[in-house]
């Protein structure tokens, strides 16, 4: 990936509350500019509740050819026929997830600020690795601090795409793009305000 001219793309992560008018907000966000992937991230729901909330969002993504990724849950990803699953370090084995979901499903892995974890994930067959947090985040407590050297190191040596995550806004994203991040994972910067304006602001800086 790193030796091609593909520009950095947006990877949108849901807020924890995806009920109410959220489907309409997602439609507006995806129609406002190019988004490569959307991650469904909810906590504390059983699989039936999560699936019921996910299905309309999955349909919105499918209509726009945006990859629909499930956070943490291989069973939910399998149940929905999702395009991918994102695994944290405690969310299970990549090879087992691959066996369960098949070769066509994208498997991403949180690697914090660790080159070692990322190389390990790559060896086990991950389709992308996520590094962060790069900035303080309002969405998730920040335990690991990553820097742009890590993105430069990764993009210079490996073809597996990298995702930068953590407190990313249109105002602070330029160094991550310059360092070689393939995707910017964004959540609060979009959902905590006007999602259309936020997506357009990111698009201006990525395009």
- pLDDT tens per residue across span 58-76: 999 999 999 999 999 999 9
| Residue 43 within any structural domain of the chain | yes
Say which residues have a Cβ less than 8 Å from residue 34's Cβ, sequence separation at least 6: 9, 10, 203, 206
Q: Average pLDDT over the chain, rounded to whole?
A: 95
What percent of the chain clears pLDDT 90, i.e. is strictly above it? 91
Residue 124 pLDDT exceeds 50: yes
| Residue 61 within any structural domain of the chain | yes
Predicted confidence band at 78 (pLDDT cuts at 50, 70, 90)? Answer: very high
What percent of the chain clears pLDDT 70, i.e. is strictly above it? 95
| Residue 120 within any structural domain of the chain | yes
Residue 2 pLDDT exceeds 60: no
Say which residues have a Cβ less than 8 Å from residue 160's Cβ, sequence separation at least 6: 1, 118, 121, 122, 126, 127, 128, 129
CATH code: domain of residue 18: 3.20.20.70
| Residue 1 within any structural domain of the chain | no
- pLDDT tens per residue across span 139-180: 667 678 999 999 999 999 999 999 999 999 999 999 999 999
**How far from the centroid of its chain's Cα atoms is residue 53's Cα?**
18
What total of structural domains would you count in the chain? Answer: 1
Residue 4 pLDDT exceeds 70: no
CB 186 within 8 A of CB 132: no
| Residue 181 within any structural domain of the chain | yes
Predicted confidence band at 53 (pLDDT cuts at 50, 70, 90)? Answer: very high
| Residue 4 within any structural domain of the chain | no
Given this model, what pLDDT does residue 143 score? 76
**130: helix, coil or strand?**
strand
CA separation for the pair 92, 146 (Å, rounded): 23
| Residue 2 within any structural domain of the chain | no
Predicted confidence band at 3 (pLDDT cuts at 50, 70, 90)? Answer: very low
Across 5-20, average pLDDT: 93
Range of the domain at 98: 9-206
Alpha helices (runs of H) in 19-124, residue ranges in sequence order: 22-32, 47-63, 74-80, 94-101, 115-123
| Residue position matching structure tokens 């129609």 | 31
| Residue 54 within any structural domain of the chain | yes
Tokens of 205: 């800086």
Predicted confidence band at 28 (pLDDT cuts at 50, 70, 90)? Answer: very high
């Amino acid at each position: 990936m790193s030796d091609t001219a593909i520009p950095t793309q947006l990877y949108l992560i849901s807020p924890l509350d995806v009920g109410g008018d959220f489907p309409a907000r997602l439609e507006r966000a995806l129609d406002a500019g190019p988004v490569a992937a959307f991650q469904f991230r909810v906590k504390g729901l059983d699989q039936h509740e999560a699936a019921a909330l996910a299905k309309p969002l999955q349909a919105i993504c499918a209509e726009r050819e945006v990859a629909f990724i499930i956070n943490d849950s291989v069973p939910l990803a399998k149940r929905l026929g999702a395009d991918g699953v994102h695994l944290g370090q405690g969310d299970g084995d990549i090879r087992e997830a691959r066996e369960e979901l098949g070769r066509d499903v994208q498997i991403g892995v949180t690697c914090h600020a660790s080159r070692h974890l990322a190389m390990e994930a790559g060896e086990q067959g991950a389709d992308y690795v996520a590094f962060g947090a790069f900035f303080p985040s309002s969405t998730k407590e920040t335990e690991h601090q990553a820097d742009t050297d890590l993105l430069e190191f990764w993009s210079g040596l490996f073809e597996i795409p990298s995702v930068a995550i953590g407190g990313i806004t249109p105002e602070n994203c330029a160094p991550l793009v310059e360092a070689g991040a393939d995707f910017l994972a964004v959540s609060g910067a979009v959902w905590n305000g006007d999602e259309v304006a936020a997506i357009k602001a990111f698009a201006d800086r990525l395009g």
